[in-house]
Structure 1
Amino acid sequence: MSAESVLTEVRGRIGVLTINRPKQLNALDVGTLEHLEAGLVQLEQDVNVRVIMVTGAGDRAFVAGGDIADLNSRRGLAHYNEFAQVVHRVFRRFEESDKPTIGVINGWALGGGMELLLALDIRLVAEEAKLGLPEITLGLFPGAGGTQRLIRQIPLCRAKELMFTGDQITAVEAVALGLCNRAVPRAQLWDEALALAERIANKSPLVLKLLKRNLRYGGEMPLGAALAHEQAMIGLVLDTNDAHEGCDAFLAKRTPVFKGN
Structure 2
Amino acid sequence: MSEKTGTSDAILYERRNAVALITINRPSTLNALDMATLAALDEAVARAASDEAVRVVVFTGAGERAFVAGGDIADLDSRQGLPHYLELGERLHAVFRRIETLDKPTIAAVNGWALGGGTELLLCIDIRIAAASAKFGLPEINLGLFPGAGGSQRLIRQIPLCKAKELMFTGARIDATEAEKLGLINRVVPDAEALPQALALAETIAAKSPLVLKLLKRTMSDGLDMPLPSSLRHEQAMIGLVLDTQDAHEGCKAFLQKRPAQFKGA
Q: Distance in 2 between matches of 1:134 and 1:187?
A: 26
Aligned residues of 2:107 and 2:125 also touching (Cα < 8 A): yes
> Deviation per CA, 1:203-242, whole angstroms, max 9, x where unpaired?
0000000000000101110001000000000000000000
Please state how far the C-alpha of 1:2 moved relative to its aligned partner.
Answer: 5.0
> Deviation per CA, 1:65-119, whole angstroms, max 9, x where unpaired?
0000000000000111110000000000000000000011111000000000000
Aligned residues of 2:60 and 2:195 also touching (Cα < 8 A): no
Aligned to 1:252: 257
Aligned ranges for residues 151-162 of structure 1 at < 5 Å?
151-162=156-167
Aligned ranges for residues 130-169 of structure 1 at < 5 Å?
130-169=135-174
Are residue 33 (structure 1) and residue 28 (structure 2) matched? no
Q: Distance in 1 between matches of 2:146 and 2:12?
A: 29
Q: Note the residue ranges of structure 1 that are not aligned, 5 or more in a row.
A: none
Are residue 129 (structure 1) and residue 134 (structure 2) matched? yes
Q: Distance in 2 between matches of 1:124 and 1:135?
A: 24
Q: Note the residue ranges of structure 2 that are not aligned, 5 or more in a row.
A: 1-5
Q: What SS does the corresponding residue of 1:89 show, helix, strand or coil?
A: helix
Aligned residues of 2:22 and 2:59 also touching (Cα < 8 A): yes
Please state how far the C-alpha of 1:194 moved relative to its aligned partner.
Answer: 1.0
TM-score (ref. length: structure 1): 0.99
Q: Distance in 2 between matches of 1:24 and 1:157?
A: 32
Aligned to 2:3: none
Q: What SS does the corresponding residue of 1:250 show, helix, strand or coil?
A: helix
Aligned ranges for residues 1-261 of structure 1 at < 5 Å?
3-261=8-266
Q: Distance in 1 between matches of 2:209 and 2:261?
A: 9
Q: How many correspondences in the alignment? A: 261
> Deviation per CA, 1:29-72, whole angstroms, max 9, x where unpaired?
11101110100000111111000000000000000000000000
Q: Distance in 2 between matches of 1:190 and 1:142?
A: 27
Please state how far the C-alpha of 1:187 moved relative to its aligned partner.
Answer: 1.2
Please state how far the C-alpha of 1:177 moved relative to its aligned partner.
Answer: 0.3
Please state how far the C-alpha of 1:143 moved relative to its aligned partner.
Answer: 0.3
Q: Which AA in structure 2 matches 1:126?
A: A
